[in-house]
Amino acid sequence: MVKKLLFAALLGLVASGLGVPAAARVDIDAARSWNERALNAVRANRSTDADAARLYAMVNVAMYDAVNGITRTRAPALVPDRGPRKADEQAAAAAAAHAVLVRLDATRAADYDAALAADLARLGNGQGVTTGVAWGRSVGDRVVTARADDGSTPVESQPAGAGPGVFRAAWSGTQYRHVRPFAVADPSRYVPGPPPTLDSVLYAGAFAEVAVLGDAALTAPDLLATFQFWSLPAGSDQPPGEWLRIALAVAGDRRLPLADEVRLTALLTMALSDTSVTTVATKYTYQHWRPTTAIREADTDNNPVTTADPTWTARAGAVGGTPEYVSGHSSYSGAGAAALQGFFCTDAIGFALATDSAPGGVARTYAGFSKAAAEAGRSRVFGGQHFEFSNQAGLEIGRGVATEVLSTSLLRATGPTHFGACPR
């Protein structure tokens, strides 16, 4: 209550011109700071991959529409109205993100109120800040309202399956196969064909690979470390969050203006969220068994090349909580890498990353986005969680979704579009 009163008082001071002098303005990076709060919300709430991706997209779409409504240079994402031209862009972005987070993560509303109050104190007083806050809050509220009936609730589940090739456990979150996308026209067009049949040579080859690389009984510290680096379990920022962190790091290195930074994060997070829809639909459609079950019960697959090992255990230490085909880590990585490569017009951008699950918190360096995506995908084989064909299919889903998002979303209002030989 005290924080809310202080927050209200600060807004009143800003509006009345009695707050921090305009000359004392200290600029902020609203895109970075409010995304960090979104990442922390996902960690604290132990969100699923799909729930995390949706939250990230809502926060970043709100910031984009708030800033773009002021600059009026590109097509909107969800909120088509024009904002006041003289509004402060940083204030608008911060207020938009705040409006989303206080609705989606209400238990920490007081913390978000205090954070916004601190941002406004740094920005100083003046009509531009006051106008920006009002406009940004309106945009954020409208984004939440627009997504309230998108199909992400109520939670649905698929019952446990039975028999050769079928995932054995019930799993929740299957409503995401019908969630309304942010940007792509039809997520189902990216659902791949079925995995290799159990009696095929292709299946036997993938089976043999994961049976060795993903075997917990075989000591391989490098493979274990790579799996752990990208594992990102509940309580982390989840696979979509790592690609958002990569985007923020690269944007910071290049000192992108706010309008470009929020466009980057909006394009990326819309692609990641829409990738959830196709990924969940694929898992639900094929309900394919995980390597642990496949190897332990290989005597039931009608494949003369595979051999059952009832004691086999995945290097990850667990079977996996959703159907195997496709790898969600791979689909998010394919989308993340393709969105970033498309935005920056090149894959050859180096960066360092220490994921939330990095062993010892040690960072790894990558020469480009595709290198990181390839390693993230292979990590699922090293952990004994997925077959390589599911890694490849997942990467392809993500690339397809991201390509459509870049080619159809947030285009220039006039002049050349942002997509083509160089999507600017």
Domains 2-147 and 157-408 share a fold: no
DSSP reduced 3-state for 223:
helix
Reply yes or no on whether the pLDDT at 131 is more than 70.
yes
Q: Residue 206 corresponds to which tokens in the numbers above?
A: 């993938």
Reply yes or no on whether the pLDDT at 368 is more than 50.
yes
Q: Which of 200-214, 297-311, 399-413 has the lowest mean pLDDT?
A: 399-413
Q: What is the pLDDT of residue 141?
A: 98
pTM comes to 0.93
Q: Residue 235 corresponds to which tokens in the numbers above?
A: 């309580």
113 with 7: CB under 8 angstroms? yes
Q: How confident is the model at residue 408 (pLDDT cuts 50, 70, 90)?
A: very high
Reply yes or no on whether the pLDDT at 109 is more than 70.
yes
Q: How confident is the model at residue 25 (pLDDT cuts 50, 70, 90)?
A: confident
> Mean pLDDT across the stretch 370-387?
98
Half-sphere exposure in the Cβ direction for 193 (13 Å, CA): 2
Reply yes or no on whether the pLDDT at 20 is more than 50.
no
Domain ranges of the chain: 2-147, 157-408
How far, in Å, CA of 400 to CA of 97, rounded?
28
Reply yes or no on whether the pLDDT at 23 is more than 60.
no
Strand 364-366, strand 171-172: pairing: unpaired
89 with 71: CB under 8 angstroms? yes
Fold entry, domain 157-408: Vanadium-containing Chloroperoxidase; domain 2 (1.10.606)
> Mean pLDDT across the stretch 9-29?
54
For residue 138, the one-letter residue type is: S
| DSSP one-letter string for 37-90 | HHHHHHHHHT--HHHHHHHHHHHHHHHHHHHHHHH--B--SS------TTS-HH
DSSP reduced 3-state for 172:
strand
Q: How confident is the model at residue 413 (pLDDT cuts 50, 70, 90)?
A: confident
Q: What is the pLDDT of residue 166?
A: 98
Reply yes or no on whether the pLDDT at 99 is more than 70.
yes
157 membership: H or E segment, kind and range: strand 157-158
Give phi and psi for 399, each to the nearest 5: -65, -40
Class of 2-147 per CATH? Answer: mainly alpha
Q: How confident is the model at residue 417 (pLDDT cuts 50, 70, 90)?
A: low
Give percent above pLDDT 70 in the chain.
92
Q: Residue 275 corresponds to which tokens in the numbers above?
A: 């990738």
Q: What is the pLDDT of residue 14?
A: 43
Q: What is the pLDDT of residue 355?
A: 98
Give phi and psi for 353, each to the nearest 5: -145, 135
> Mean pLDDT across the stretch 300-314?
98
> Mean pLDDT across the stretch 380-387?
98
Name the average pLDDT for the chain.
93
Q: How confident is the model at residue 421 (pLDDT cuts 50, 70, 90)?
A: low
Q: How confident is the model at residue 424 (pLDDT cuts 50, 70, 90)?
A: low
How far, in Å, CA of 385 to CA of 283, rounded?
14
Q: How confident is the model at residue 416 (pLDDT cuts 50, 70, 90)?
A: low
CA distances from 78 to 67, 180, 408 (A): 13, 13, 14
137-159 pLDDT, tens digit per residue, is: 999 999 999 999 999 999 999 99
Burial class (CB in 10 A: 0-12, 13-18, 19+), 1: exposed
What torsion do the CA atoms of 337, 341, 342, 344 make, to the nearest 10 degrees?
140
223-279 pLDDT, tens digit per residue, is: 999 999 999 999 999 999 999 999 999 999 999 999 999 999 999 999 999 999 999
> Mean pLDDT across the stretch 384-396?
98
Q: Provide the H-helix boundaries in 105-217.
A: 109-123, 127-147, 201-213
Q: What is the pLDDT of residue 27?
A: 85
The torsion region of residue 377 among left (phi > 0), alpha (psi -120 to 50) and beta comes to: alpha
